[in-house]
Structure 1
Amino acid sequence: MTYAADRALTSVTAPYSPETNPVALAFDDSRQRMVDDQVRPLEVNDPRIIAAMRVLPREDALPENEQEFAYSDLTLPLGNGRYLLQPMVTARLVQMADVQPGQRVLVVGAATGYTAALVAMLGAEVIAQEEDEALLAIGTSFTSRASVDVSWSQSSLASGAPESSPFDLILFDGAIEEIPRFCSTQLAENGRVAGILRPNDGTSSAFLAEAEKDEGWSVRRFFDADVPVLPAFERPAAFAF
């Protein structure tokens, strides 16, 4: 798809338009360069993702002191051990998950809502789960300002969202060291789990998993991604003599 073509698609699908002021226009220019320089060269070719990322105001998903770095090729700190993932990691992760319109998706550790909003713009019914009150406040404001339909759930990340299950997709917006137990009981039939798996063997990669009959998981790994572990899913440090 050409640049002109995906910009044309953006004008049809985007729920958000930047205000016509110099700061907003500067962010818009940076947003286009982020997509062209960081996202498209890394085999992100889903036109829906490209279109959404061209308009979704990533700066609004950051604390004020981090907004100037919104379109940098960086994982950005949000506070309390939480992060907004690199744009290219988010784009590749969402593309790997193959989100389809009408699917029910739980985004675990949604933080300030950027990934949840992106998934919602692909036509999914999104429940964004977050336990940190400060991040939740930014996230609800962000999705509201961007006019993206996301339902928020404030609860312990380690428990999932049983009251809203089952889900076609459970997407972790950060790394986990193992697939939590709640996933097996909150997935719909043929549902999938996606995220970044970072076990203690030194690897860190994007994965898709499906439940097996013996209560295990069939896991496929896709691309390497060095992403911080969500604190709620860190294993307790082993005691050493």
Structure 2
Amino acid sequence: MFEDNYRQRGLRNKLVKKLALKGIKDEAVLAAIGTVPRHVFFENALLEHAYEDKAFPIGEGQTISQPYTVAFQSEKLEIKPGDKVLEIGTGSGYQACVLLALGAKVYTIEYKRKLYETAMEFLPRIGYKPYFFFGDGSKGLPAKAPFDKIIVTAGAPVVPTALTDQLKEDGILVIPVGDKEKQVMLRIRKKGGKLLKEEFDYFAFVPLLGEQGWKS
């Protein structure tokens, strides 16, 4: 297991209050952020940064996402307990843990083998058990489709048609789309076979790699 002491819980509570001040309103999302021990994803030398509202490098050119970004995407997904959720880009696994804390059934796919292997070994050790897959997330996970919700944690040049095809009716896809430096967050709902698109703030994600993403 891992240590989660009074100080760490206090820092997490401060982070939750900061996210609320920044506009996160969903109490379930705030509670999930307040539950997941973000410090366990950091090396000891970086522990003091674990509950800052910042992204940090995790190797392989990837980052553990900024807590505000995780909360923002999670809120836009409108997770209900039992939702079947596909996460594109496992990364550190922090976002997957937040989705699990919200009561989702999580399928997560990672393009980088080292990150996939690390997360698959580490997350169950700290009590979080999504279904792990290695491969091209831009193609989704057709063998397990359809999904209630899909979240993409990397910046895409376009919305991959494979992902909208794998959404259930009334499903939601949350994805950042733009160039490699800046992307606009999109929420896409499937209604009556149509895709209804909403645009939100701009963010900066690492590039989505794969056949329907950026070429590595």
The aligned counterpart of 2:201 is: 223
* CA distance in 2 between partners of 1:194 and 1:159 (Å): 15
Number of residue equivalences: 215
TM-score, normalised relative to structure 1: 0.77
Deviation string, structure 1 residues 113-155 (Cα, Å, up to 9, x no partner): 1111111111111101113232123323443133234111122
How much has 1:106 moved relative to structure 2? 0.2
How much has 1:63 moved relative to structure 2? 5.3
Label 1:133 to 1:86 Cα distance change in 2 as closer, same or farther (>3 A): same
Structure 1: state its 5+ residue gaps: 1-15
The aligned counterpart of 2:49 is: 69
Give the aligned residue type for 2:117.
Answer: A
TM-score, normalised relative to structure 2: 0.85
Conservation of the 8 A alpha-carbon contact between 1:73 and 1:87: yes
Label 1:65 to 1:140 Cα distance change in 2 as closer, same or farther (>3 A): farther
Label 1:71 to 1:89 Cα distance change in 2 as closer, same or farther (>3 A): same
* CA distance in 1 between partners of 2:26 and 2:58 (Å): 28
Classify the secondary structure of the residue corresponding to 2:119.
Answer: helix
* CA distance in 2 between partners of 1:143 and 1:203 (Å): 30
Give the aligned residue type for 2:205.
Answer: V
Structure 2: state its 5+ residue gaps: none
The aligned counterpart of 1:204 is: 183
The aligned counterpart of 1:108 is: 88
The aligned counterpart of 1:170 is: 150
Classify the secondary structure of the residue corresponding to 1:126.
Answer: strand
How much has 1:221 moved relative to structure 2? 0.8
* CA distance in 1 between partners of 2:167 and 2:213 (Å): 22
Q: Percent identity?
A: 22
* CA distance in 2 between partners of 1:104 and 1:30 (Å): 31
Deviation string, structure 1 residues 52-78 (Cα, Å, up to 9, x no partner): 211211122345665442222212112
1:1-241 equivalences in 2 (<5 Å): 19=3, 24-37=5-18, 39-62=19-42, 66-199=46-179, 204-211=183-190, 217-232=195-210, 234-235=213-214
How much has 1:33 moved relative to structure 2? 1.9
Give the superposed CA RMSD.
2.7
Q: Which structure's CA Rg is the greater one?
A: 1
* CA distance in 2 between partners of 1:212 and 1:199 (Å): 28
Conservation of the 8 A alpha-carbon contact between 2:138 and 2:163: no
* CA distance in 2 between partners of 1:146 and 1:128 (Å): 17
* CA distance in 2 between partners of 1:236 and 1:147 (Å): 34
